């Protein structure tokens, strides 16, 4: 499936016009990669894509990067304008941006670049471009769904192999390094993150794996993901080293039930916060509501965390093509935690899981 950068640029220009923006300006970031396929390193020399309703898109690039900019996948669609070292790049940007009106600026633009633009364009008002671009990026096309599905499969294979490793007596850091290797050997281009949280550490959702050694009756939260064809996997399973700790089954059951309830609540047109409530109410009924200390999920695609966020207060409806995590958790300080996370896609009539690993409690040795 080939990507239509022309289509993405045109849709952004159209939406910007509809919402009253005079222009959208984007620097090197996943937004730029999404719109043009061009992903140079973000540096102090500004590269700025400018999309204006009704006009051809343009990109300001440092003179020394003209060749890669022109030969990038979307390069032929852009009017490439160069600036040279020693000249003022923001004055050059002002030539391809409107002098007044509202300009949407990408989230990942360095403050230094935005401040430079604001000084060069005192008559313009700058706003965040994330509502515009985030909405476009959150609806995945067939090629993007396929990449995310394959990334999910590679993460599932990683978990299967992980369950056969020995844990007892080894350190979290050792197992985390195994997870990174398995992510790659199962098809990821690179590992992105590997949370291995054992025993009391599992009560900290974003624990950094360290030198603690696994003990019998530890709960272990394994949350990992990698990049595959520019898209990410992200899955969590909680396992027990031997027999589960005291009182653990009840919490595990509540989280498993919450994960299932949230998945069942997904349907196009359903407000994101309603999916969060579906998970939360199961955990509240089990008596652990105050121990579910984070949102139910986040969108995923070219970034591990991106819109839509599955959180109270997000009343926007999910639509077919949205992809996000469903990851309820319960954390009991000093003892243990449980989180179960799958990536899902909203379909025309419900949802599809991209992670198919068993959600039954697995026992490791
Ligand atoms: Zn997280
Ligand atoms: Zn995760
Ligand atoms: Zn996640």
Residue 326: which of 314, 309, 346, 342 has the closest Cα? 342
- Output the pLDDT for position 342: 98
**Cα–Cα distances in angstroms (integers) from residue 22 to residues 54, 60, 105, 120, in the given order:** 10, 17, 11, 16
Tell me the pLDDT tens digit for each residue of 169-185: 999 999 999 999 999 99
SS3 60: strand
Give residue 223 CA to ligand 1 midpoint distance, Å.
Answer: 8
- Output the pLDDT for position 51: 98
Give residue 49 CA to ligand 3 midpoint distance, Å.
Answer: 30
The answer to whether the bond into 2 is cis (omega within 30° of 0) is no
CB 24 within 8 A of CB 104: yes
Q: Is 122 exposed, middle or buried (0-12, 13-18, 19+ CB in 10 A)?
A: exposed
Q: State how far the Cα of 279 lies from the Cα of 295, in Å rounded to an integer.
A: 10
- Output the pLDDT for position 2: 73
Backbone angles phi, psi at 4, to 5 degrees: -100, 90
Residue 68: partners with Cβ closer than 8 Å, 6 or more residues away: 38, 40
Q: Which ligand is nearest to the CA of 294?
A: 1
Give residue 225 CA to ligand 1 midpoint distance, Å.
Answer: 11
Give residue 299 CA to ligand 3 midpoint distance, Å.
Answer: 8
Give residue 262 CA to ligand 2 midpoint distance, Å.
Answer: 16
Neighbours of ion ligand 2 (CB under 5 A): 223, 234, 236, 341
**Cα–Cα distances in angstroms (integers) from residue 122 to residues 47, 89, 142, in the given order:** 20, 16, 42
Give residue 235 CA to ligand 2 midpoint distance, Å.
Answer: 5
Give residue 205 CA to ligand 1 midpoint distance, Å.
Answer: 7
CB 311 within 8 A of CB 276: yes
Give residue 328 CA to ligand 1 midpoint distance, Å.
Answer: 10
Q: Is 166 exposed, middle or buried (0-12, 13-18, 19+ CB in 10 A)?
A: exposed
Give residue 202 CA to ligand 1 midpoint distance, Å.
Answer: 12
**Cα–Cα distances in angstroms (integers) from residue 38 to residues 111, 137, 181, 269, in the given order:** 21, 16, 28, 33
Give residue 98 CA to ligand 2 midpoint distance, Å.
Answer: 41
Give residue 2 CA to ligand 2 midpoint distance, Å.
Answer: 29
CB 255 within 8 A of CB 340: yes
Q: Where are the alpha helices (DSSP H) in the chain?
A: 5-18, 30-36, 66-71, 89-96, 111-120, 130-138, 142-162, 172-185, 248-265, 272-285
Q: Which ligand is nearest to the CA of 343?
A: 3
Give residue 220 CA to ligand 3 midpoint distance, Å.
Answer: 16
CB 60 within 8 A of CB 92: yes
End-to-end CA distance of the chain: 43
Give residue 234 CA to ligand 3 midpoint distance, Å.
Answer: 5
Residue 223: which of 240, 244, 243, 208 has the closest Cα? 208
| pLDDT tens by residue, the chain, 365 residues | 578 999 999 999 999 999 999 999 999 999 999 999 999 999 999 999 999 999 999 999 999 999 999 999 999 999 999 999 999 999 999 999 999 999 999 999 999 999 999 999 999 999 999 999 999 999 999 999 999 999 999 999 999 999 999 999 999 999 999 999 999 999 999 999 999 999 999 999 999 999 999 999 999 999 999 999 999 999 999 999 999 999 999 999 999 999 999 999 999 999 999 999 999 999 999 999 999 999 999 999 999 999 999 999 999 999 999 999 999 999 999 999 999 999 999 999 999 999 999 999 999 99
Residue 337: which of 237, 269, 227, 224 has the closest Cα? 237
142: β partners: none
Structural tokens at position 202 = 């599992």
* CA neighbours closer than 13 Å in the CB half-sphere of residue 100: 1
Give residue 111 CA to ligand 2 midpoint distance, Å.
Answer: 29
What is the model's pTM? 0.96
CB 252 within 8 A of CB 335: no
Tell me the pLDDT tens digit for each residue of 310-362: 999 999 999 999 999 999 999 999 999 999 999 999 999 999 999 999 999 99
- Output the pLDDT for position 3: 86
């Amino acid at each position: 499936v080939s990507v239509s950068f022309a289509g993405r640029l045109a849709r952004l220009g159209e939406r910007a016009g509809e919402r009253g923006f005079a222009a959208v300006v984007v620097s090197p970031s996943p937004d730029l990669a999404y719109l043009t396929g061009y992903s140079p390193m973000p540096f102090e020399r500004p590269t700025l894509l400018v999309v204006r309703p009704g006009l051809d898109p343009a990109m300001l690039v440092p003179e020394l990067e003209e060749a890669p900019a022109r030969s990038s996948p979307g390069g032929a669609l852009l009017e490439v304008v160069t600036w040279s070292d020693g000249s003022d790049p923001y004055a050059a940007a002002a030539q391809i941006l409107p002098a007044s009106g509202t300009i949407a600026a990408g989230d990942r633009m360095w403050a230094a670049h935005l401040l430079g633009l604001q000084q060069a364009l005192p008559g313009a008002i700058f706003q965040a471009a994330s509502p515009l671009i985030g909405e476009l990026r959150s609806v995945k096309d067939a090629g993007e769904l396929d990449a995310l599905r394959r990334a999910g499969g590679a993460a599932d294979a990683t978990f299967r192999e992980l369950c056969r490793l020995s844990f007892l007596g080894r350190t979290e850091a050792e197992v985390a390094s195994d997870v990174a290797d398995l992510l790659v050997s199962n098809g990821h281009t690179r590992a992105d993150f590997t949370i291995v949280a054992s025993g009391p550490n599992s009560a900290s959702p974003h624990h950094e794996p360290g030198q603690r050694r696994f003990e019998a009756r530890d709960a272990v939260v394994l949350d990992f993901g990698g990049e595959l064809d520019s898209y990410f996997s992200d899955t969590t399973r909680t396992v027990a080293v031997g027999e589960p700790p005291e009182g653990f089954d009840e919490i595990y059951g509540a989280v498993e039930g919450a994960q299932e309830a949230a998945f069942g609540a997904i349907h196009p047109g359903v407000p994101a916060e309603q999916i969060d409530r579906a998970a939360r109410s199961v955990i509240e009924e089990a008596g652990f509501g105050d121990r579910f200390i984070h949102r139910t999920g986040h969108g995923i695609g070219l970034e591990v965390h991106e819109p839509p966020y599955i959180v109270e207060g997000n009343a926007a409806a999910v639509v077919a093509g949205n992809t996000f995590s469903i990851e309820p958790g319960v954390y009991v300080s000093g003892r243990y935690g449980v989180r179960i996370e799958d990536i899902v896609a909203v379909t025309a009539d419900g949802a599809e899981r991209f992670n198919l690993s068993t959600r039954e409690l697995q026992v490791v040795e």
